[in-house]
Amino acid sequence: MGRYAAMVSGPAGSGKSTFCTALITHAQSIGRNVHLFNLDPAAERFEYEPSIDIKELITLEDVMEEMRLGPNGGLIYCFEYLLDNLDWLEDQLGQFDDDYIIIDCPGQIELYTHFPIMSRLISVLQQQFNFRICACYLLESQFMDDKTKYFAGVLSAMSAMINLEVPHLNLMSKMDLVAKGETGDAIQTGRRREMERYFDPDPLLLVDEVNSKTNPRFHALNQAVVQLIEDFSMVSFMPLDVTDEDSVGSVLSHIDNALQYGEDEEPKEPKDMDMGDFEE
């Protein structure tokens, strides 16, 4: 078998750690051997104890104190330090040869959208440590209530896809909260149909709604932004409800497909059959 890693990224508060927990819980329930890799040097609490933790190498708190850096500069320093100490990373990863690694990343989206830090780390994992990697980018579903935020989220997802250059899955997270407080199957069904147009967005159909809420001076900019999204036509979303095991299972199956999980397994010998079963 190969080595597989799902890199979970996205803005702060989008539900990355909660998704990692749900993904690990579901994977373990179906007999998968999965491990958590905490890649956030500022993370403090975990539902599952990380098998690999960058904080054992370096912490953001120490960097900010000793180097007199702010949170963003300190985070960049932490990743540069990690890339300068690949022997530590190799030692940590060496004990997980045929396992599935879930990588919980920080919430600073600039790491994925325009800084080369994460793309360099991905190259190391692929080329030196022989991992197949799929990136999962989470965007909070409540962004749909504000179309301008939604377009900003789509652009950030597109930028991450271009920057990371690995199989990519965009997830609309916290779907369990979208219909919270609503009652009745008809209402929830209608709300669901309303949400579906955001999963595979047609920005040209949404620009009028954005223009109605923004100053006319920005209408030309809005049009340029949605045209950019339309021209690239890269971004689509899967709904994610971490409280629904079927939803988590569906996401995991898409990750498996992107990673070609299990395709390196040796074919199994067929069981001996009693030829008498075929006799009349």
* pLDDT for residue 262: 72
What are the tens digits of pLDDT across the range 228-268? 777 777 788 899 999 999 999 999 999 999 998 876 655 44
Residue (of 75, 184, 80, 195) closest to 139 by Cα position? 195
What are the tens digits of pLDDT across the range 92-139? 998 777 788 999 999 888 888 888 889 999 999 999 999 999 999 999
- Could you tell me how far CA 248 lies from the centroid of its own chain? 12
Write the CB contacts of 192 (distance below 8 Å, at least 6 apart in sequence).
179
184 against 174, higher pLDDT: 174
Percent of the chain with pLDDT over 90: 46
Q: Give CA–CA dist 157/151, Å, rounded.
A: 10
Which secondary-structure segment (H or E) carries 9? strand 3-9
* pLDDT for residue 152: 83
Per-residue pLDDT at 275 exceeds 80: no
pLDDT (mean) for 159-174 = 91
Query: Order of strands, edge to edge, in the sheet holding 168-173?
Result: 52-53, 34-38, 100-104, 3-9, 131-140, 168-173, 237-239
Q: Report the mean per-residue pLDDT for the chain.
A: 83
- Give all strands (DSSP E) within 22-153, no chain letters: 34-38, 52-53, 100-104, 131-140
* pLDDT for residue 86: 94
What pTM, to 2 d.p., does this model score?
0.83
* Neighbouring C-beta atoms of residue 224, cutoff 10 Å: 9
What are the tens digits of pLDDT across the range 188-211? 555 566 677 678 767 777 787 778
Whether residue 150 contacts residue 144, with contact meaning beta carbons closer than 8 Å, is answered with yes
Long-range contacts of range 145-148, CB-CB < 8 Å, 24 or more positions apart? 147/206, 147/209, 147/210, 147/213, 148/210, 148/213, 148/214
Q: Give CA–CA dist 98/132, Å, rounded.
A: 11
What are the tens digits of pLDDT across the range 207-235? 877 788 788 888 888 888 888 777 777 78
pLDDT (mean) for 155-174 = 91
Burial of residue 120, with CB atoms counted within 10 A of its CB: 0-12 exposed, 13-18 middle, 19 or more buried? middle
Per-residue pLDDT at 65 exceeds 80: yes
Whole-number Cα distances in Å, 188 to 139, 177, 260: 21, 12, 35
Mapped onto helix, strand or coil, the DSSP state of residue 215 is: coil
Radius of gyration of the chain (CA): 22
Terminal-to-terminal C-alpha distance of the chain: 42
* pLDDT for residue 279: 47
Domains identified in the chain and CATH numbers: 3-200+236-263 (3.40.50.300), 202-234 (no CATH)
